[in-house]
Amino acid sequence: MNYPIVIYSCDERGYVAEVPALKGCLAQGETLSETIEELRIVTKLWIETAEKHGQPLPDVEGAIQKVKALSYSGSC
Protein backbone atom coordinates (compact mmCIF):
# COMPACT_ATOMS: atom_id res chain seq x y z
CA MET A 1 0.00 0.00 0.00
CA ASN A 2 1.20 3.49 -0.72
CA TYR A 3 0.27 5.73 2.17
CA PRO A 4 1.41 9.36 2.10
CA ILE A 5 4.34 10.22 4.34
CA VAL A 6 5.46 13.40 6.05
CA ILE A 7 9.14 14.17 6.61
CA TYR A 8 10.51 16.72 9.07
CA SER A 9 14.07 17.91 9.39
CA CYS A 10 15.37 18.07 12.95
CA ASP A 11 17.11 21.14 14.35
CA GLU A 12 19.79 18.95 15.92
CA ARG A 13 20.36 17.14 12.57
CA GLY A 14 18.72 14.30 10.76
CA TYR A 15 15.10 13.64 9.89
CA VAL A 16 11.89 12.19 11.24
CA ALA A 17 9.31 10.63 8.91
CA GLU A 18 5.83 9.37 9.64
CA VAL A 19 2.84 7.76 8.01
CA PRO A 20 -0.03 9.84 9.47
CA ALA A 21 -2.65 7.22 8.53
CA LEU A 22 -0.88 4.56 10.61
CA LYS A 23 -0.95 5.76 14.20
CA GLY A 24 2.52 5.69 15.75
CA CYS A 25 4.25 4.68 12.52
CA LEU A 26 7.37 6.82 12.42
CA ALA A 27 11.10 6.55 11.96
CA GLN A 28 14.18 8.71 12.20
CA GLY A 29 17.62 8.79 10.67
CA GLU A 30 20.66 10.94 10.12
CA THR A 31 20.17 11.13 6.33
CA LEU A 32 17.04 11.40 4.25
CA SER A 33 17.65 8.04 2.56
CA GLU A 34 18.28 6.32 5.91
CA THR A 35 15.09 7.82 7.31
CA ILE A 36 12.99 6.67 4.36
CA GLU A 37 14.45 3.15 4.49
CA GLU A 38 13.71 2.92 8.22
CA LEU A 39 10.16 4.14 7.57
CA ARG A 40 9.67 1.42 4.94
CA ILE A 41 10.67 -1.22 7.48
CA VAL A 42 8.45 0.20 10.23
CA THR A 43 5.49 0.56 7.85
CA LYS A 44 5.80 -3.06 6.73
CA LEU A 45 5.89 -4.23 10.35
CA TRP A 46 2.92 -2.00 11.27
CA ILE A 47 0.81 -3.45 8.45
CA GLU A 48 1.87 -7.04 9.21
CA THR A 49 0.94 -6.59 12.87
CA ALA A 50 -2.46 -5.09 12.03
CA GLU A 51 -3.22 -7.94 9.63
CA LYS A 52 -2.06 -10.55 12.16
CA HIS A 53 -4.52 -9.14 14.72
CA GLY A 54 -7.37 -8.78 12.21
CA GLN A 55 -7.40 -5.00 12.33
CA PRO A 56 -8.59 -3.19 9.21
CA LEU A 57 -6.07 -1.03 7.40
CA PRO A 58 -6.88 2.64 6.82
CA ASP A 59 -8.13 3.58 3.38
CA VAL A 60 -5.27 4.93 1.23
CA GLU A 61 -7.43 7.52 -0.56
CA GLY A 62 -8.80 8.78 2.75
CA ALA A 63 -5.25 9.07 4.08
CA ILE A 64 -4.20 11.08 1.03
CA GLN A 65 -7.11 13.48 1.49
CA LYS A 66 -6.25 13.93 5.18
CA VAL A 67 -2.63 14.83 4.40
CA LYS A 68 -3.76 17.23 1.66
CA ALA A 69 -6.13 18.94 4.07
CA LEU A 70 -3.36 19.34 6.64
CA SER A 71 -0.95 20.75 4.08
CA TYR A 72 -3.48 23.30 2.83
CA SER A 73 -4.51 24.44 6.29
CA GLY A 74 -1.48 26.71 6.47
CA SER A 75 -0.53 25.54 9.95
CA CYS A 76 3.15 24.77 10.32
Strand runs (DSSP E) across 1-76, as ranges? Answer: 6-9, 15-18, 26-29
- Report domain extents, the chain: 6-72
Q: Are 16 and 10 in contact (CB under 8 A)?
A: yes
Asked if residue 76 has pLDDT above 50, the reply is no
H/E run at residue 57? none
Q: How far apart are the first and last CA of the chain?
A: 27
The answer to whether the pTM exceeds 0.85 is no
Asked if residue 14 has pLDDT above 50, the reply is yes
CATH tag, 6-72: 3.30.160.250
Q: What is the pLDDT of residue 18?
A: 93
